[in-house]
Structure 1
Amino acid sequence: MYRRLSMIMFPIMTVLFIGAMYWGYQEHQEKNNVLLKAENSYQRAFGDLTYYVHKLNDELGNTLAVNSASKDFQRKGLVNVWRITSEAQHAISQLPLSYLPFADTENFLSRVSNFAYKTSVRDLGKQPLSGEEFKTLKSLYNSSHQISSQLSELQNNIMSSSLRWMDVEVALSANESGTSNPVVSSLRHVNDQSTQYGEVEWGPAVNSMYTDKRVKLLSGKPITAEEAVKIAAKFMDTDVSNIEIKENGKDSDFPTYMASVKDDADGDKKVSIAAKGGKLVMYAHYRDVSEATLTLEQAEEKAESFIEKHGYDDMEAVSYDEYYNTGTFTYVYEMEDDTLVYPDKITVKVALDDGEVIGFHAADYAAHHRDRQMNKPSISLNQAITALNPDFSIKDQRLAIIDGELGEEVLCYEFTGNINDQLYRIYINAETGIEEKIEKMSRSDQAVSS
């Protein structure tokens, strides 16, 4: 009996064993193929990064080499710098650097890109490169030369020593801060060198892009956790005993208190309050939203009732977005003379199943809202209209205050209308008569703002 059983089982087990070996071999081959593709992808990305940084250095050198009066060539060079740094940033994003402190190099490239863009888009004939900007270009040229040399040296070491990027990824994912992997060590060295370039004078146009203006504008005395609990309880219409409070970013430039009310039957509710001044920053009610039943007009009524209840007066809706059965309205402050103040902005998210406000963001309003004394327009409405495309059909016009490229508030004429079967808002600077900003509108934007 056992002999007969063994005669039956032996071939079966042999087949299963061979099958398992074959399956294991196939899995091993597929894994190797995946690793090989990943390795090739990393090698190509690093080669691209090295190439683009080298080209960046060349293009900066070319821009500096021409006569200071060659405005057209300067603009061309700056546009090329902007394009090349964007390509270099894309190459970095494809490398296994998520665990590596390589942010300073990425930040350096980002600032180079923004500096080149900001200077190239302006009229260099009327506003040529200043002495400080030429000094910045020379600093960037020297810095990019050092980075390029270091990357080229690392690339040669990788090729001559047959180093693998997959080993870099393994070392980084294992959080080996003291790893002796030469690629990791070299990249850390490049990043450390990039921190020395922070002293470059980028100018106000670029610096404003990396500064959170709300932090400086928030006013008022610091509040305690107990005071934050009372503010949150009043806003969410609940007892203070139901509030849990947590302080976030205590040592940062923008500390906040996060107050939460947990309701198992209806989802979590959270309110964020600025620790300086006690102003409301954000409110969210995390719950499932059923199928939409409200119209745009009904949702807008719910949003307006909510902001009026909480003391946000003289606000006007300017845009609307609908997403997953929720509608989000953007409101801006309207001055007594009907001028819209876009920096004083709040957003309200309404659940379209029952009209409950489930989201509210007021950080910009809390930071910017104040009494303003704006200068009168230097140009007339008719002069501003002449700056528009003759084919632009104006539906409405008014004054508006918006954020300019340098971070300052700019008084503009806002024109709403259409051209080429599309709705637009066009902002003409009320002092210079030049287009300051252009926004494409949706039909919903027009509906809520009319």
Structure 2
Amino acid sequence: MRRGLMIVLAIALVGSGIWGYQQYQENMEHNIYLENQFQRMFYDMIVDVENIQVSLAKAMVTGTPKQNVMLFTDIMHLSYDAQEKLSQLPIDHSNVSKTQKFLSQVGDLSMSLARKNLDGKPLDQTETDTLEELHNYANYLSQQLIELQGQIANGGTRIGELARKANQQLKETNANMLTTSFVNMEEKMREYPELIYDGPFSEHLKRKKPRLQGKQINQNEIERIAESFVNDGTKYEANVLGDLNDTRMPAYVVSLKPRTGEANHDLTMAITKTGGKVIWMLDAGNIGEAKLSEEQGIQIAQAFLKNKGYQQMIPTYSVQYDGQMVINFAYQQNDIVIYPDLIKVKVGLDEGKIVGFEAEGFLSNNYERNIDPPKITAEEAREKISMAADVSEPRLAIIPTEGGSEILCYEFKAKYKQDTFLIYINADTGDEQKILQMIIKDEGVLML
């Protein structure tokens, strides 16, 4: 009997060891996969920045508007792609805000200049001087990223270590080296020239006073607001990391760490000093394989917004990648879609958790508008669209202009052969105000 018990225990011990080894191997494979993903993303970002610098140099020497249109279009896409890669790296968001802003503005300036060249207008001296400064800063950023990549390769630092907080104590020196390098880049990027141009990210629009109102919030209240906003059943410890004062909406940056010691589940958010509203929130936890549908993801995001007091928000379009889904919501007033009042929600499709949130557009622009009735009918607006297109029933929408104003339009979804477009007809003048191509993929819908 005793011997039989010993055999059973031995078998159980061996089985436990095999199971533990399998778990270890699976964790190792998962970590290697994440590391490879981060390394690829980091490398792709460097390539994008290098190509931005090269294309900016070409734009300063070419004299043909046609060639400039091609160059500026490339720069626009490269800038937005580099910004997206940077936003997905496991790096503290507050450390790279200026660099992200730089990439956004380079991309949007390029769009504006491409449109100018389409009209046959050459660059003036001020625009050429601005391009030269931006080229120099893009070159600096490229060199710093290449140097950082070399430090990672030679020093054995893993980008993925920044996301694995469980090993933070053991890897603190290397992790700080990587983060500090980005902070150093940030200090240099603060010096890049202010851009004044007709585009949605231009500095003269950024200086517009937000409509957000409310009392001033102190740090003690900030920690309570942060924990209340997440409210996902996990007990967090909130810490104020610092202030964001050089922004349209001054804010506190707050870190939330689980009290239970859960790994890979730290959150960071920015909360306005006026009114105590969450501008953005990012969950650094790992996202597993998608198990939920697109419809379920939208329902989860809608329920979250309603729970946070954001009523009358309707989903407009979405995109899916790496087990997560980003949904754009616009405010709706009297059945009119208000596109400037925008909120983005990111849902993990593995467990249905809210892993990202951004409401700067809504907090900056939302108010109850006095909307005059349209001066033309929907039928009159329809006549402005090619009869060759298959057009759906329109809806009224307010869209932002690149100069910062708002226009009431009829929004038509039009299909022509294999392509789908959103066409906006000015509801007062009947002019075609804007046209967007909808790129419909398995991952979601993109607008170009």
Asked if TM exceeds 0.5, the reply is yes
Q: Which residue of 2 aligns with 1:233?
A: 227
Contact 1:400 1:412 in 2 (8 A): yes
Q: Kindly state the Cα deviation for residue 293 of structure 1 after the two structures are TM-superposed.
A: 2.5
Alignment of 1:52-131 (within 5 A): 52=58, 55-56=61-62, 59=63, 78-80=65-67, 116-121=113-118
Unaligned 5+ runs, structure 2: 1-50, 78-101, 135-142, 152-190
Query: 2-side partners of 1:436 and 1:53: how far apart?
Result: 26
Query: 1-side partners of 2:105 and 2:356: how far apart?
Result: 36
Q: Which residue of 2 aligns with 1:209?
A: 202
Q: 2:373 is aligned with what amino acid? A: K
Q: Which residue of 1 aligns with 2:41?
A: none
Contact 2:324 2:348 in 1 (8 A): yes
SS in 1 for 2:240: strand
Contact 2:251 2:270 in 1 (8 A): no
Pairing partner for 2:217 from 217, 223, 237: 223
Q: Which residue of 2 aligns with 1:333?
A: 331
SS in 2 for 1:427: strand
User: Is residue 245 of structure 1 aligned with residue 242 of structure 2?
Assistant: no
Q: Kindly state the Cα deviation for residue 390 of structure 1 after the two structures are TM-superposed.
A: 1.4
- Using the size of structure 2 for normalisation, the TM-score is 0.57
Q: Kindly state the Cα deviation for residue 250 of structure 1 after the two structures are TM-superposed.
A: 4.1
Q: 2:261 is aligned with what amino acid? A: D
Pairing partner for 1:389 from 386, 404, 409: 386
Q: Which residue of 2 aligns with 1:256?
A: 252
Contact 1:282 1:361 in 2 (8 A): yes
Residues 441 and 304 of structure 1: CA distance in aligned 2, closer, same or farther (over 3 Å): same
Q: Which residue of 1 aligns with 2:37?
A: none
Query: 1-side partners of 2:362 and 2:57: how far apart?
Result: 45
Q: Kindly state the Cα deviation for residue 404 of structure 1 after the two structures are TM-superposed.
A: 1.5
Q: Kindly state the Cα deviation for residue 315 of structure 1 after the two structures are TM-superposed.
A: 0.9
Contact 1:319 1:444 in 2 (8 A): no
- Using the size of structure 1 for normalisation, the TM-score is 0.57
Pairing partner for 2:402 from 376, 401, 405: 405
Q: Which residue of 2 aligns with 1:137?
A: 124
SS in 1 for 2:364: helix
Q: Kindly state the Cα deviation for residue 334 of structure 1 after the two structures are TM-superposed.
A: 0.8
Q: Deviations over 1:410-437 (max 9, x none)?
A: 2211112322123332222223421413
Residues 343 and 445 of structure 1: CA distance in aligned 2, closer, same or farther (over 3 Å): farther
Q: 2:397 is aligned with what amino acid? A: A
User: Is residue 345 of structure 1 aligned with residue 338 of structure 2?
Assistant: no
Query: Paired residues, what number?
Result: 325
Contact 1:82 1:112 in 2 (8 A): no
Unaligned 5+ runs, structure 1: 1-44, 60-76, 91-104, 148-165, 175-194
Q: Kindly state the Cα deviation for residue 329 of structure 1 after the two structures are TM-superposed.
A: 1.9
Percent identity reads 21
Query: 1-side partners of 2:409 and 2:229: how far apart?
Result: 35
Query: 2-side partners of 1:369 and 1:259: how far apart?
Result: 27
Query: 2-side partners of 1:378 and 1:333: how far apart?
Result: 23
Residues 246 and 389 of structure 1: CA distance in aligned 2, closer, same or farther (over 3 Å): same
Query: 2-side partners of 1:351 and 1:145: how far apart?
Result: 41
Contact 2:255 2:266 in 1 (8 A): no
User: Is residue 361 of structure 1 aligned with residue 363 of structure 2?
Assistant: no
Q: 2:239 is aligned with what amino acid? A: I
Query: 2-side partners of 1:426 and 1:442: how far apart?
Result: 16
Residues 53 and 412 of structure 1: CA distance in aligned 2, closer, same or farther (over 3 Å): closer
Larger radius of gyration: 1
Q: Which residue of 2 aligns with 1:373?
A: 370
Query: 1-side partners of 2:307 and 2:75: how far apart?
Result: 50
Q: Kindly state the Cα deviation for residue 320 of structure 1 after the two structures are TM-superposed.
A: 2.2
Q: 2:229 is aligned with what amino acid? A: F
Q: Deviations over 1:109-166 (max 9, x none)?
A: 98985664343445x8xxxx8xxxx9x935557999999xxxxxxxxxxxxxxxxxx9
Q: Which residue of 2 aligns with 1:420?
A: 417
Query: 2-side partners of 1:141 and 1:344: how far apart?
Result: 34
